[in-house]
Amino acid sequence: MSLELNKTEQGVVDGLSSDFSEDLIDVYQSCDHTYIRVEAENIIQILKFLKEKHHFIFLCDIIGTDRYTSDERFEVIYNIMNLRTQDRIFVKIRVEEENPHVPTATSLWTSAGWFEREIYDMYGVRFEGHPDHRRMYMPEDFEYFPLRKEFPLLGIPGSIELPNTTPDTE
C-alpha cells in the first residue's frame, strides 16, 4: 500500500529511518491514521525522540491488545499527538506472552502512569520502572487479567470476594 504522509509524518518516518533504522519495523496507514511499528527495546528513546524533535508532546492514550498469537502475543500502542500541527501517530510495540514487560514512559509523560497501570491490570504487561505499579480497577489480590482472551466473560466464580452477609456471626 502506498503511503500518503503529510509533512510532519514524513519528517517522523525520515527521522526514525535515519536515527533508529535498526528498530523501525513497519509503517502503514489505516482509517486515516499512521501506524509505526518498532522494536520494543528502544521504545523510550524513540518516544523521547518523537517528543523532543518532532513535538509529539501530548500522550493521548496507551492501549493494550491481546493478539492471541503464539509469538509476540501482546501489543502496546502509544497514541501521541503533535500539538503544533494536530497530527496524531500510533507507535506500536509487541511483547511476548512469557513475562511480558516494557519500560515505563512515565519519565516522558506523567500521565502514562495510569494508562500503564490499566494495561497491567487488564493484560498483565508489566512496566519496568513504574513509580506506582498497582492494579487500576480490579482488587489488588485478583489473580487474573480480565482482558486476556482466555478469560471467561463472566469471570471466574469465587475469584472476587463478595461481602460477608452475616457480619454478626463473624
Partner 1 sequence: MGIESALGEGFFTTKIDALSNWARANAAWPMPMGLACCAIEMMAFAGPRYDASRFGSEVMRFSPRQSDVMIVAGWSTYKMAHAIRRIWDQMPDPKWCIAMGACASTGGMHRCYGVVQGVDNYLPVDAYVSGCPPRPDALLHALMKIQDKIKTEHSVLLDS
Q: Where are the beta strands (DSSP E) in 52-148?
A: 58-66, 74-82, 87-95, 101-103, 126-128
All three cell numbers of 71: 509469538
Ranges within 90-109 binding partner 1 (CB under 8 A): none
Our finding on whether 154 is near partner 1 (CB under 8 A) is yes
Ranges within 118-137 binding partner 1 (CB under 8 A): 137
Region binding partner 1 by CB under 8 A among candidate stretches 11-19, 31-39, 94-102, 151-159: 151-159
Strands 33-38 and 24-30: antiparallel
**CA–CA dist 23, 31 (Å, integer):** 24
Our finding on whether 156 is near partner 1 (CB under 8 A) is yes
Our finding on whether 158 is near partner 1 (CB under 8 A) is no
CB 167, min distance to partner 1, A: 6
Helix (H) or strand (E) holding 14, with range, is helix 7-19
Interacting residues toward partner 1 by CB under 8 A = 137-139, 146, 151-156, 160-165, 167
